[in-house]
Structure 1
Amino acid sequence: MQDLFQFESFQSPVYPHEELIIDAFAGGGGASTGIEQALGRSPDIAINHCDKALAMHAQNHPDTIHLTESVWDVDLKTHTNGRPVGLLWASPDCRHFSRAGGKRILSPEVRMLAWSIVHFCQKLKAKRPRVIMVENVVEFKGWGPLDDEGNQIKSRAGETFEQWCEALRKLGYKLEVRVLRASDYGAPTIRKRLFIIARRDGKPIVWPAPTHGDPNKAEFVGSGLRPWRTAAECIDWSIPCKSIFNRKKPLVPKTMKRIAAGIQKFVIDAQEPFILNMSHGGRLEPLRRPMTTIKTEKGGCRALVIPCVDRQYGNSKCADITDPLGTVTAGGGGGSALVAAFLHKYYGQKRDGEIRGHLPDSPLHTLTTARRYGLVTSHLTMMRGSCKHGRSVDQPMPTNTAGGNHIAEVRSFLTAYYGTSVGQKLSRPIGTTTTKDRFGLVSVEISGEPYVITDIGMRMLTSRELYRANGYPEGHIIDFEHNGKPFSKEEQVAKCGNGVPPPWAKALSQANCPEMIVRAEAA
């Protein structure tokens, strides 16, 4: 295949005197972005057989040489032109090891991709990478041989992984292996991955200390950690949710059950809702603390939010939105949906049956002595898997996947009701609908006041929200033209699911390659 950029022999366009940095299996640029944030420079070479992946990578790292080739075919010895490699980052295809991908083995060639790292080192000989960082799913550590039917032999799990590690040791590398969680390093997602750091320069392997933690755990106090980032800060609250009812294509029963379970847990039974401050960048404010100054301009209102994230597939447990978002993976699972309940107060019959509810990002209506303003609740639901009730938005995002966007936002419209009726059982025929009354789907009491749910909305999360959840900077380019056509949302999500959250790459590169940081020359 042809390179995206043609050249006779490699010369770094920006750093001709530095050790080279190579991003093998480069996707949409997550690892490279983290490396750039840490070292002040993008990788010199990025390799991937997928031209779409490198197209996004090139948008964000234009100075990098992009090789659209198989890792088995690329001639690194020629491309490095005799220069030493300081850092090799490698994230081999994880589909054969991930639980999200099931037990089916796609191809022996893909399953063996990690051996290409050893192949690189053998070909480069004395110029082989000084530091190697490998990222994969946790199950990669159980890499072992297969039987004649293509199933892994359980009694030999981990055997091939140990052989792979030993091959690197024979090339002069010292290895260490750890499992890290992205939410511990500032990415608002709960994604966990296995990391292998190998180096042959005699320097110690350094594992960066976590920077964020669960503020609800007792050990958090006095730890010096920052509270983990949440799904709520990734969500664009101005995007409306379409009602789950009266759709041209009705939602499947399983999805409706998950939404109902999420409403029960995160709206009806919620113990600690929080206020969404629509100014200050959507800051979250717990109810147990005094409310900040309320402004009169647009964006200054508050909304009560009782959110959750519902994971729709896999074995992952549901959690509320105070947790990081689940991992965005490449296997088609892990999707989450945002479930939000809008609470509108309704004090009997008003003029023309008017109910003064509105979205939280709209200007506040004129205040009167009659309290008539509503509160907004939200949670996330996953459109696949075994998760029953979703996840709160004040936790990090659940794991998403590259096979499709399965994270949806659900909003429940609740009306505080002080009229002649507070709803009826769903088993009874609904009464006559008039312009001066409303029928609640569910009756609920919040702080001693009666509410009814008058509607529930749901929308899938956008690509940008998913990239935020995985710790990508806001300026990361995901919307561009490729081969004369807009880069599709499906491809954007896939590159996010396949990608490495930048905060990981940043922390690991800073800790282990500080000598490679580009420093400004003194004037």
Structure 2
Amino acid sequence: MLVTMTDLFCGAGGSTCGALQIPGVRVVMAANHSRHAINTHQHNHPTTDHDCADISQVVPTRYPRTDILWGSPECTHHTRARGKKRGHGEFDGGLFATDGTDEAAIRSRATMHDIARFAEHHRYRAIIVENVPDARWWGPEEAPGFAFDNWVRSVALWGPYDYRIVYLDSCHAQAAGPGSRSRRPRMYVIFWRKGDRAPDFDKWLRPYGVCPRHGWVRLMQCFERTRVCSPERPWGVYGVKTGQYVYRCPRVECRHQVVEPQVRGAAEAIDFTLPARTIGERSRPLVANTMRKIRAGWEKYRQAVRGEGAVIEPYMIELHGGGSSHRPATAPMSTLTAGGINHGVVYADPAVHDLLPYYGNSSAQPVTAPMPTLTTRDRHGLIGYAVSLEECRYRMLIPREAARAMEFPEDFVFLGDRDQTIEMIGNAVTTNAARDLVGMVVEALTGEDVSLPANSSSLPVSADPETPQAAAQPTASVPSIPAQGS
């Protein structure tokens, strides 16, 4: 059954790439204000109609009616990463305006209203809106969330729609294929017409993980109870120590053990064959802050000491943002941004290496030892040996590696210079998140199950006795968050 989709604020095409992975989906229309983004989208999706325009100035009748609207309104001025408050555009100390009103911020956030304008005319069967989690608190400082609440109601009235707000990190979007190799916490608002079949959120939004007692299980998302978040009013990002929600085993026998979901590592996106100078070979020393992060990673990720040197696991450093200064390459990259490549990779000479299993509590083994149990996924990487930190190699990631971490296809072509390419990648929707969310909605619209891969690389089928094969269905019922807007 053919299901049609419009992609507003489409960027280079991550959301379109993901949607087209679902059988029967056709992206009819894609629109964005950026010329190089539209050129890139059109080059990679020639059968889709395109419009390069300021969407706030577009009359909805200009575009054809479709079954689904995917919208990614501008998120730049919703996120706290810009260092400003999350309000409605106000900040202290404007140059001309006595109240310091930031008109650009207000116009940026107002792109959310374009979703309601298009819903009013087209009455889509379903709508998916993507933004940063902080968009939930859109509103004046004295009433955070007021503008967002009104926006949700304004969209829901036009269906009329039921809706549910989903908080999902792209590395955990694994239902119809692998998760992303980068972290990308996002908020998705899913609208569907009242009376129609609701999407099966449990089927599509529960990643796998290893419970110490029950082995591989499908995990349930559990929000902590804080001042701004609760299970009844969920909001936030994933994180065992610093986030607002975690994943737990659904079985009561282990008292709903907190479990880290299975994820893919940044190492799967990095090309370790590319040339990189050693730190000691550099004619101009790295800046002090970069060296501080590199040295901290060296101290943390050395697996073992042999003679005068050490076995070192490849690791990444974050020059700005990301929430940390370094992380192992077996973990997903921190969030990629439009402001420039902010990731560097450090690794020892690959000519002298050990074998590193990526799963469980494994440690490095020499290449002369038998290879540990092989699984259906590539779970082994090469790590190097270095006498000192100065012998390690360091370089910044290239755009192709960043695109790979965002799950763009290998043959995807970006049209633009390096800075424009980085901007397009950093602004994109990860294709795997769009794949799963569109698949979930298509299944609800058609009434036909969208088959999930029986032996996908995203599923934990393993011959390792410590990681038994997962059940095909959840091991226990999970209390779900009811639809909102009813």
Choose which of 419, 423, 429 in structure 2 pairs with 1:500. 429
Choose which of 324, 337, 354 in structure 2 pairs with 1:329. 337
Equivalents in 2 of 1:169, 1:209: separation in Å?
23
Residue number in structure 2 paired with 1:381: none
1:192-236 deviation line (CA, Å, top 9, x unaligned): 100100112522133253464455x63782216894211111111
Equivalents in 1 of 2:218, 2:164: separation in Å?
26
Q: Secondary structure at the match of 1:103?
A: coil
| Cα distance change on mapping 1:234 and 1:158 into 2, 3 Å | same
Equivalents in 1 of 2:24, 2:41: separation in Å?
17
**Equivalences for 1:194-209 in 2 at 5 Å?**
194-200=187-193, 202-207=196-201, 208-209=203-204
Residue number in structure 2 paired with 1:159: 146
CA contact (8 A) 1:135 1:193 kept: yes
Q: State the TM-score, normalizing by the size of structure 2.
A: 0.66
**CA apart distance, 1:159:** 0.7
| Cα distance change on mapping 1:472 and 1:505 into 2, 3 Å | same
Residue number in structure 1 paired with 2:328: 320
Residue number in structure 2 paired with 1:139: 134
| Cα distance change on mapping 1:99 and 1:334 into 2, 3 Å | farther
Is 1:455 the counterpart of 2:391? The answer is yes
Residue number in structure 1 paired with 2:171: 183
Residue number in structure 2 paired with 1:384: none
Residue number in structure 1 paired with 2:110: 112
| Cα distance change on mapping 1:457 and 1:319 into 2, 3 Å | closer
Equivalents in 1 of 2:345, 2:16: separation in Å?
29
Larger Rg: 1
CA contact (8 A) 2:312 2:384 kept: no
Is 1:306 the counterpart of 2:235? The answer is no
Is 1:192 the counterpart of 2:191? The answer is no
Q: Secondary structure at the match of 1:239?
A: coil
Equivalents in 1 of 2:304, 2:73: separation in Å?
43
Choose which of 46, 49, 53 in structure 2 pairs with 1:65. 49
Residue number in structure 1 paired with 2:372: none
**Equivalences for 1:136-285 in 2 at 5 Å?**
136-145=131-140, 153=141, 155-171=142-158, 172-185=160-173, 186-200=179-193, 202-207=196-201, 208-210=203-205, 212-213=207-208, 218=212, 221-223=215-217, 227-245=262-280, 247-267=282-302, 270=303
Residue number in structure 2 paired with 1:472: 408
Residue number in structure 2 paired with 1:491: 420
Amino acid at match of 1:502: T
Is 1:76 the counterpart of 2:60? The answer is yes
CA contact (8 A) 1:144 1:161 kept: yes
Q: Secondary structure at the match of 2:433?
A: helix
Equivalents in 2 of 1:472, 1:271: separation in Å?
36
Residue number in structure 2 paired with 1:54: 38
Residue number in structure 1 paired with 2:227: none
Amino acid at match of 1:158: G
Residue number in structure 1 paired with 2:366: none
CA contact (8 A) 2:280 2:390 kept: no
Equivalents in 2 of 1:213, 1:491: separation in Å?
36
Equivalents in 1 of 2:286, 2:214: separation in Å?
41
1:234-278 deviation line (CA, Å, top 9, x unaligned): 1111112123345354321111111111111112xx3699xxxxx
Structure 1 unaligned blocks of 5 or more? 1-16, 146-152, 274-302, 343-358, 361-373, 379-410, 416-440, 442-452, 481-486
**Equivalences for 1:422-433 in 2 at 5 Å?**
none
| Cα distance change on mapping 1:214 and 1:311 into 2, 3 Å | farther
CA contact (8 A) 2:208 2:216 kept: no
Q: State the TM-score, normalizing by the size of structure 1.
A: 0.62
Choose which of 58, 82, 89 in structure 2 pairs with 1:101. 82
CA contact (8 A) 2:135 2:148 kept: yes
Residue number in structure 1 paired with 2:346: 339
CA contact (8 A) 2:312 2:386 kept: no
Equivalents in 1 of 2:296, 2:312: separation in Å?
17
| Cα distance change on mapping 1:461 and 1:230 into 2, 3 Å | same
**CA apart distance, 1:169:** 2.4
1:330-368 deviation line (CA, Å, top 9, x unaligned): 3x27822211123xxxxxxxxxxxxxxxx44xxxxxxxx
Residue number in structure 1 paired with 2:93: none
CA contact (8 A) 1:138 1:194 kept: yes
**CA apart distance, 1:36:** 0.3
1:90-127 deviation line (CA, Å, top 9, x unaligned): 111111111222217543211211011011122x1xx3
Task: Number of aligned residue pairs: give it.
Answer: 353
Residue number in structure 2 paired with 1:35: 19
Q: Secondary structure at the match of 1:472?
A: coil
Structure 2 unaligned blocks of 5 or more? 90-103, 174-178, 220-260, 357-382, 451-486
| Cα distance change on mapping 1:179 and 1:260 into 2, 3 Å | same
Which segment is superposed worse, 48-57 or 98-107? 98-107
Amino acid at match of 1:164: W
| Cα distance change on mapping 1:315 and 1:68 into 2, 3 Å | closer
Residue number in structure 2 paired with 1:450: none
Alignment RMSD (CA, Å) = 3.1
Q: Percent identity?
A: 28
Amino acid at match of 1:129: Y
Equivalents in 1 of 2:24, 2:329: separation in Å?
33
Amino acid at match of 1:111: R
| Cα distance change on mapping 1:143 and 1:224 into 2, 3 Å | closer
Equivalents in 2 of 1:178, 1:321: separation in Å?
28
Q: Secondary structure at the match of 2:136?
A: helix
Which segment is superposed worse, 200-209 or 456-465? 200-209
Residue number in structure 1 paired with 2:480: none
| Cα distance change on mapping 1:505 and 1:220 into 2, 3 Å | farther
Equivalents in 1 of 2:322, 2:412: separation in Å?
31
Amino acid at match of 1:510: G
CA contact (8 A) 2:298 2:312 kept: no
